[in-house]
Amino acid sequence: MGLTDLRWPRRTARLELRPFTIADAEAVFAYRSLPEVGQWLSGLLTDVESLRARAADWQSAQLVMLHQGEVVGDLMLRIEDAWAQAEVAEHGRGVQAELGWVVAPWAQGRGFAREGIAELLVVAFDELGLRRVTANCFAANEASWRLMEAFGMRRELHAVAESLHRDDGWLDGYGYALLADEWRERRRPNAV
């Protein structure tokens, strides 16, 4: 089961979440092509056609966040296999996912990322039944790793000078993870 097997759109207090479509390409390009946004992304979009060319890949893992009908950002939930020994490999297929998020500069500071990620975790753990989610970032991207920590994600990796940044050279990277059981425990009414 994947994102395309679920019912969309999903609504939160202020957002509508739904899978990316090719019709979203221009709106997503408008913020993803900005240098201040692309600073922390794996690749800077240079033209809307390059995004349209990736639409098929994006439709399986990317969601758009809309506020009052306007695209204000996007989320990624890329389902992955866990590492497993050959004898039990079938039990590790499609049990975890990598998370990602981008918020348009004009929509930052309003809690949209937090609201979208909260719903994305519901999708990952309750709807898809995943056992683990991960997220990665450059160590210098403080806003991202602070958001991961706000959701109770555990820093599992601090890799020294392992990530090559297009402008800043070799930078440290962080890797975070959260297990479904940990997430459920945090959601219990009496949990600390």
- In degrees rounded to 5, what are phi and psi of residue 87? -70, -20
Domain assignment of residue 121, yes or no: yes
Domain assignment of residue 124, yes or no: yes
Domain assignment of residue 51, yes or no: yes
Number of structural domains found in the chain: 1
d(CA 105, CA 22): 22
Model pLDDT for residues 90-142, shown as the tens digit of each residue = 999 999 999 999 999 999 999 999 999 999 999 999 999 999 999 999 999 99
Domain assignment of residue 172, yes or no: yes
Q: Contact 136/103 with Cβ under 8 angstroms?
A: no
d(CA 74, CA 32): 10
Domain assignment of residue 192, yes or no: no
Q: How many residues does the chain have?
A: 192
The total of other beta-carbon atoms located within 10 Å of residue 131's CB is 14
Q: Which domain holds residue 90?
A: 3-187
> Residue 111: what residue type?
G
Model pLDDT for residues 135-169, shown as the tens digit of each residue = 999 999 999 999 999 999 999 999 999 999 999 99
Domain assignment of residue 44, yes or no: yes
Model pLDDT for residues 29-76, shown as the tens digit of each residue = 999 999 999 999 988 888 999 888 888 888 889 999 999 999 999 999
The total of other beta-carbon atoms located within 10 Å of residue 165's CB is 13
The CATH code of the domain that includes 48 is 3.40.630.30
Can you give the pTM of this predicted structure? 0.93
